[in-house]
């Protein structure tokens, strides 16, 4: 297991050097969430807690899902993915490295923004709840990118970005960021429960003392979603692997 982690970290380091400064990653991971938050903020009388939850949730979600969907299509286009999977590493190890690249990017940007936001907005949070929820959520969202990049088996990053953006925006608007869960009608609240982002948003509210669902449920669902995304993604990647090189 230790050897697998070492090899996956080597893959992650390669991804960090090559992909962090790619245009789509910078736009979708940094610039876009900034302007989306401005649209969320302007013209609304929001409390410090609401601003903190909205800013942190959007930052974590978009930064941790900006890198992963594009790694394999770019590598397939550059013919480096073929060489990578012929190395003495399994496909699962490679995908675990891709997940780590998304995880580190999401954690670094989220904490760089959330910590100053707490101080500026004078929000009192339970640090342990915030740290645990954020780590689990970014891990979950990073695992989701493994599933996002699994199909279609294409070497055109734009194809994957289009589908992943459609999925991300669908989840964003049903996850209780713009309208709290308790204010949603019953049918909309039921739909929101299919989104992992819903449980992170609620866990952030718990950290500020205002959660809706039980905290154990929020954290448990993030773990279940993350495991499900990664295992499903690995399974699909294995099934379509040959089609990537035809």
Q: What is the pLDDT of residue 245?
A: 64
pLDDT of residue 135: 96
Q: How confident is the model at residue 224 (pLDDT cuts 50, 70, 90)?
A: very high
Mean pLDDT in residue range 114-127: 86
For 42-52, how does the pLDDT look when each residue is reduced to its tens digit (9 = 90+)? 767 777 788 88
pTM: 0.89
Q: According to the per-residue pLDDT averaged within each range, which of 26-30, 38-42, 60-64, 162-166 is highest?
A: 60-64
More confident residue, 163 or 204: 204
The candidate with the shortest Cα–Cα distance to 195, out of 169, 227, 215, is 169
* pLDDT tens string 166-178: 888 888 888 888 8
What is the number of structural domains in the chain?
Answer: 1
The pLDDT of residue 201 is 94
pLDDT at position 49: 83
Q: Is pLDDT of 76 > 80?
A: no
Domain span at 9: 2-245
Which of 157 and 102 is assigned the larger pLDDT? 102
Residue 12 has pLDDT above 70, yes or no: yes
Confidence of residue 141 (pLDDT cuts 50, 70, 90): very high
The tens digit of pLDDT for each residue in 196-215 reads: 999 999 999 999 888 888 99
Q: Is the pLDDT of residue 244 over 80?
A: no
pLDDT at 155: 67
| Whole-angstrom distance, CA of residue 75 vs CA of residue 78 | 5
């Amino acid at each position: 297991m230790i050897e697998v982690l070492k090899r996956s970290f080597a893959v992650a380091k390669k991804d960090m050097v090559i992909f962090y400064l790619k245009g789509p990653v910078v736009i979708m991971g940094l610039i876009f969430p900034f302007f989306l938050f401005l649209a969320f903020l302007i013209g609304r009388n929001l409390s410090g807690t609401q601003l903190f939850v909205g800013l942190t949730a959007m930052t974590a979600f978009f930064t941790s899902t900006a890198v992963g969907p594009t790694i394999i299509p770019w590598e397939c286009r550059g013919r480096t993915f073929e060489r990578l999977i012929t190395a003495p590493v399994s496909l699962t190890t490679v995908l675990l490295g891709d997940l780590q690249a998304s995880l580190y990017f999401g954690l670094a940007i989220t904490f760089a923004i959330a910590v100053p936001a707490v101080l500026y907005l004078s929000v009192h949070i339970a640090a342990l709840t915030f740290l645990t929820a954020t780590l689990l959520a970014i891990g979950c969202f990073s695992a989701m990118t493994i599933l996002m990049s699994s199909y279609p088996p294409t070497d055109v990053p734009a194809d994957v970005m289009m589908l992943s953006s459609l999925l991300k925006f669908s989840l964003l608007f049903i996850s209780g960021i713009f309208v709290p869960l308790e204010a949603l009608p019953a049918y909309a609240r039921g739909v929101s429960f299919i989104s992992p982002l819903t449980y992170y948003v609620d866990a952030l509210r718990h950290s500020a003392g205002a959660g809706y669902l039980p905290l154990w449920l929020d954290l448990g669902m993030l773990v279940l979603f993350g495991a499900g995304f990664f295992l499903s993604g690995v399974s699909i990647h294995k099934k379509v692997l040959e089609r990537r090189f035809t």
